[in-house]
Amino acid sequence: MKNVNRVAVVALWLSACAYSQGVFSVVKVPGSSPNSVTAINSGGQVLVNTGNSSSYQVSTWGRINGAENIGLTGTNSGGAGINSTGDVVGAGDPDHSGNLQAFVWRPTSGVQWLGSLGGNLSAASGINDSGAVVGLSYTAANTQHAFLWTAAGGMQDLTPGLSSSSIGGATAVAINASNQVVGYYFPNGSLNTVGFLWTQAGGLQNLGPAGTLALAINSSGTVVGQSPVATYRHAFSWTQAGGMKDLGTLGGDESTALSINSKGWIAGTSLTTGNGVQHGFLWTPTGGMQDLTALAGLAAKQQAYSVEVNDAGVVAISTSRGDLVLVPKMTATFSSSANPSVLGQAVTFTAKLTSIAGPPPDGETVEFVVSGQVLGSAQLKGGVAEFTTSAIPVGTHAVVAEYSGDGNYLPTKYNALGQVVNK
């Protein structure tokens, strides 16, 4: 996403990246209910669920464009997923019958109710960027099955072999760009779940031992969720080549992986030492499992419920105090090619930006401000923006680099040097 406009915000004055100082800025999501489901897409747009004593409603929120209520008819609506174009899926009650039905809502065309596999209830859990939807639905035999819905093919039963002896049925939770679907089910007659990976070519593949829940999958096919370890349940990651990997906990007995992005970053929840508080975590291939409470400077007693990380490294987290967006802080080094310089001499200013998630996208804008006046701008490439000018008058000047930000990253100002220009 590109944004070449100068944005008026409260400036963040940053000069170095250190985990002890917190690597995320915290943005509160307005209108969200505590401990509600939340999700975030690749552009930083957040799914918001709001409830009161009489009804539940769904909206979307982005830092740039604000909030939009998706305007579902009926009550008791709940959103579960959002894709890169802002399409939202979940479940609602369109006719006030008390029977929930899966929906997909698109900003361009509004809501579409997806029906069911023959029963009186369905609910959507996930959607990919092609608009394929997954979830659960009851059949005419009143058995809960996992489904995949596409505009071309309608609702497809992914677990047709389940019978009424399946105690808890099946649920499809997430789908990636290749239409690989993950979820969990109770095999016929079993008291325990089994995670699954479903593909059109291979059908249903079991994942993990009894008690496993497969909850998310990224573009490369890595699956995450929760699986038994001894007498407890831990977050796991799974690949076809490497099998199951225990991700550990934040000191408590249990953890759950809820989301994985294209970088292989995993977000979820974990009990902390003493098992009194559930915090959000971020697991990375280089850093392992880290407490989001520490990384973002959240209150230690703030419980986490729902956590999702997008490909930009931005985390949406639902807590006991409402929904938050945790934005990687951009830090910068800022240099001048000649300081002091002489009047009329060409001087190149270089700003290098990075964060825990890496640099901002190529093509985004940094403005160069000298003594309060914008002298020019440059586009980022590999996190670097360079601007050359010979128009600085004699004197000592405060030189500021202002990153314009985008839907994911906050605009940021770097006041790093004083440029001296001699006669």
Mention every residue, 6+ apart, whose C-beta is less than 8 A from residue 165: 188, 189
Residue 390 has, within 13 A of its CA and on its CB side, a CA count of 5
Kindly tell me if the per-residue pLDDT of 20 is higher than 80. Answer: no
pLDDT score recorded for residue 75: 66
pLDDT value, residue 53: 60
Q: What are the φ/ψ torsions at residue 342 (nearest 5 degrees)?
A: -115, 155
- Say if residue 15's pLDDT is above 50: no
What global pTM score does this model have?
Answer: 0.92
DSSP one-letter code for 167: S
Give the separation between CA 175 and CA 129, rounded to whole angstroms. 10
Q: Domains, the chain, ranges and CATH?
A: 21-328 (2.120.10.30), 331-422 (2.60.40.1930)
* Coil, helix or strand at residue 21: helix
Query: Taking the alpha carbons of 182, 186, 187, 190 in that order, is the dihedral positive or negative?
Result: positive
- State how far the Cα of 256 lies from the Cα of 206, in Å rounded to an integer: 18
**CB-based contacts of 357-360 (< 8 A; 24+ apart in sequence):** 357/263, 357/312, 357/313, 357/314, 357/328, 358/313, 358/383, 359/383, 359/384, 360/330, 360/403, 360/406, 360/409
| Residue 298: strand, helix, or coil | coil
pLDDT digits (tens, 9 = 90+) for 239-275: 999 999 999 999 999 999 999 999 999 999 999 998 6
User: Which one-letter DSSP state was computed for residue 367?
Assistant: E
Contact status, residue 273 vs residue 251, Cβ threshold 8 Å: yes
How far apart CA 328 and CA 315 sit, in angstroms, is: 9
Query: Do the Cβ atoms of 34 and 28 come closer than 8 Å?
Result: no
What 3-state DSSP class applies to 19? helix
pLDDT tops 80 at residue 129: yes
Q: 257 and 215 in contact (C-beta within 8 Å)? A: yes
User: Which residue did the predictor score with more confidence, 17 or 257?
Assistant: 257
